[in-house]
């Protein structure tokens, strides 16, 4: 891949946002730091995956090796690789790139299907994930969960950049029982809540490193694109290839779309997305208490709630957000020990799981042209057109159109730079009570 991809106009400026230039893929051997090799010519595909649900960026390199690289360099699955990919944007002329180090965690899919060449894959992770598997931690802790995670990152995992870790979370104390550092972080994340009881995510992006952000913080951030410049699923281009306007249009075009939708109220109700009960037993003062939570005013991406707030026979003649006995949580407390490991749960668990249950009330997998600036955790405006536009006064599908949270991105650098993006939303752009009345029964018999 020591080549410029197709669709380059001149220099580093592509005609389309699917163009890119691989500037460096440097493999550092285990001999010494300056014993390195540029392997751009051996790499046929690069895949970089980042998600708000994982603590490390994963990078996969497909290698076509005619130089017997594994034997000559004694590769054994711990080597550092430096990657630099970029371009000059065709619309605003800014230089955009990603540049990062990754480490070979495994070598997979070795085969010799071509004469004189072998193919295999480097499965790579960030350095802190390799460090994680070499140690456990066993010590007392007491602080906010954000500060505790920040300490694990800097002291135990050797992560230098920790400025994107939010330290305004709840207090907690306890003892790590010989956990790997990342396992301890995941446990702290599960017991972290912001002031509105929304859950936290610990994840890593290529551009900004590790992050610790609450759901409320993510959805209230400024969107990646303005509302009047939405991503849109439309089959046709209006602009001429090679123009700045075409480049901008291509960046917002949804090339492919598939969706699980995830609209099942049957599943969501059972998960406590709309109502639940918490049963608390205090072993210190021998007290038992039950509290109820019902969906009233959760923070959300769009204006309208993801359910119809009316009585329904199938829910026992009640609205969904009154069915609080369908999901129950049980917590053992010790009021004589303030801020112990179960204390944050007592006032937050049901509402937090309400956020999680509604997080993906709509979920889409979309394919976009490459965009170095788009990251997991970003909010985007997306516009969906109606499937049948003939005679429609309003061409926008108001239920699906709205703001979405980017939860994962797979950057694929092959013949083109494309992204497989998963987006989710917790609410609708239209009121679900606004149902079109059926005034005529249409028969399909004989059609």
Q: Does domain 221-261+360-425 have CATH number 2.40.30?
A: yes
Which pLDDT band, with edges at 50, 70 and 90, does 337 fall under?
A: confident
Tell me the Ramachandran region of residue 93: left when phi exceeds 0, alpha when psi lies from -120 to 50, beta otherwise. Answer: left
Is pLDDT of 3 > 60?
no
Residue 300 sits at φ, ψ, to 5 deg, of: -150, 165
Is pLDDT of 187 > 60?
yes
Is pLDDT of 4 > 70?
no
Residue 406 sits at φ, ψ, to 5 deg, of: -80, 115
Residue pair 361/426 in contact (Cβ under 8 Å)? The answer is yes
Strands 402-413 and 417-425: antiparallel
| Mean pLDDT for the stretch of residues 136-150 | 96
Q: If you write DSSP's letter for every residue of 22-82 in order, what string do you get?
A: EEEEEEE-SS-TT-EEE-GGGEEEEEEEEETT-SS-EEEEEEEESS-HHHHHT--S--EEE
More confident position, 9 or 87: 87
More confident position, 25 or 437: 25
Q: How do residues 42-76 score in pLDDT, each as one tens digit?
A: 999 999 999 999 999 999 999 999 988 888 889 88
Token pair 């639940």 in the structure block, residue: 276
Helix segments in 281-416, DSSP class H? 349-358
% of the chain at pLDDT higher than 90: 70
Average pLDDT across the chain, whole number: 90
Which pLDDT band, with edges at 50, 70 and 90, does 447 fall under?
A: very low
Q: How do residues 388-444 score in pLDDT, each as one tens digit?
A: 766 555 688 999 999 999 999 999 999 999 999 999 999 999 999 888 787 765 555
| Mean pLDDT for the stretch of residues 128-144 | 96
Residue pair 346/280 in contact (Cβ under 8 Å)? The answer is yes
Instruction: Count CB neighbours of 234 within 10 A.
Output: 14
Q: If you write DSSP's letter for every residue of 95-151 in order, what string do you get?
A: EEEEEEEEEEEEEEEEEEEETTEEEEEEEEE-HHHHHHTT--B--EEEEEHHHHHHH
Residue pair 301/361 in contact (Cβ under 8 Å)? The answer is no
% of the chain at pLDDT higher than 70: 94
The pTM of this model reads: 0.91
What is the helix (H) or strand (E) element at residue 363, kind and residue range? Answer: strand 362-369
| Mean pLDDT for the stretch of residues 250-276 | 91
Distance CA 376, CA 373 (A): 10
* Amino acid 363: pLDDT: 94
Identify the CATH class of 8-127.
mainly beta
Give the start-to-end residue ranges of the domains of the chain.
8-127, 136-214, 221-261+360-425, 265-357
* Range of lowest pLDDT (43-57, 266-280, 308-322, 383-397): 383-397
| Mean pLDDT for the stretch of residues 363-375 | 95
Which pLDDT band, with edges at 50, 70 and 90, does 219 fall under?
A: very high
Is pLDDT of 8 > 80?
no
More confident position, 51 or 265: 51
């Amino acid at each position: 891949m020591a080549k410029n991809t197709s669709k380059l106009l001149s220099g580093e400026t592509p005609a389309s946002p699917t163009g890119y230039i691989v500037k460096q893929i440097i493999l550092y051997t285990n001999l010494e730091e300056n014993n390195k090799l540029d392997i751009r010519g051996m790499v046929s595909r690069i895949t970089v995956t980042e998600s708000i649900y994982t603590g490390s960026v994963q990078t996969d390199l497909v290698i076509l090796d005619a130089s017997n690289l594994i034997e000559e360099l004694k590769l054994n699955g711990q080597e550092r690789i430096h990657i630099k990919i970029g371009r000059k944007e065709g619309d605003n002329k800014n230089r955009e790139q990603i540049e990062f180090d990754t480490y070979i965690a495994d070598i997979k899919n070795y085969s010799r299907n071509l004469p004189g060449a072998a193919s295999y894959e480097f499965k790579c992770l960030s350095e802190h994930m390799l460090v994680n598997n070499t140690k456990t931690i066993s010590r007392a802790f007491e602080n906010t969960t954000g500060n505790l995670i920040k300490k694990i990152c800097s002291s135990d995992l050797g992560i230098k950049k920790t400025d994107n870790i939010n330290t305004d979370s709840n207090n907690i104390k306890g003892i790590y029982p010989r956990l790997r550092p990342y396992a301890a972080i995941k446990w702290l994340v599960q017991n972290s809540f912001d002031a509105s009881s929304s859950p936290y995510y610990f994840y890593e992006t290529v551009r900004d490193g590790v992050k610790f952000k609450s759901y409320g913080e993510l959805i209230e951030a400024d969107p990646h694109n303005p509302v009047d410049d939405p991503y849109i699923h439309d089959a046709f281009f209006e602009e001429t290839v090679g123009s700045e306007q075409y480049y901008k249009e291509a960046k917002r075009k949804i090339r492919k779309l598939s969706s699980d939708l995830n609209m099942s109220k049957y599943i969501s109700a059972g998960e406590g997305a709309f109502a639940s009960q918490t049963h608390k037993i205090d072993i210190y003062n021998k007290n038992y208490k039950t509290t109820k939570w019902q969906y009233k005013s959760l923070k959300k991406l769009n204006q309208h709630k993801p359910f119809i707030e009316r009585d329904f026979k199938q829910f026992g003649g009640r609205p969904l957000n009154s069915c609080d006995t369908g999901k129950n949580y049980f917590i053992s407390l010790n009021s004589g020990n303030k801020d112990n490991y179960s204390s944050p749960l007592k006032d937050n668990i049901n509402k937090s799981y309400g956020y999680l249950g509604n997080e993906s009330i709509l979920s889409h997998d979309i394919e976009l042209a490459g965009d170095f600036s788009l990251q997991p955790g970003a909010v985007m405006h997306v516009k969906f057109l109606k499937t049948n536009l003939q005679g429609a006064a309003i061409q926008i599908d108001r239920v699906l159109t709205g703001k979405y949270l980017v939860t994962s991105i797979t950057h694929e650098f092959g013949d083109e730079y494309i992204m497989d993006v998963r987006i989710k939303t917790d609410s609708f752009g239209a009121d679900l009570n606004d149902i079109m009345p059926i005034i005529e029964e249409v028969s399909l018999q004989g059609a």
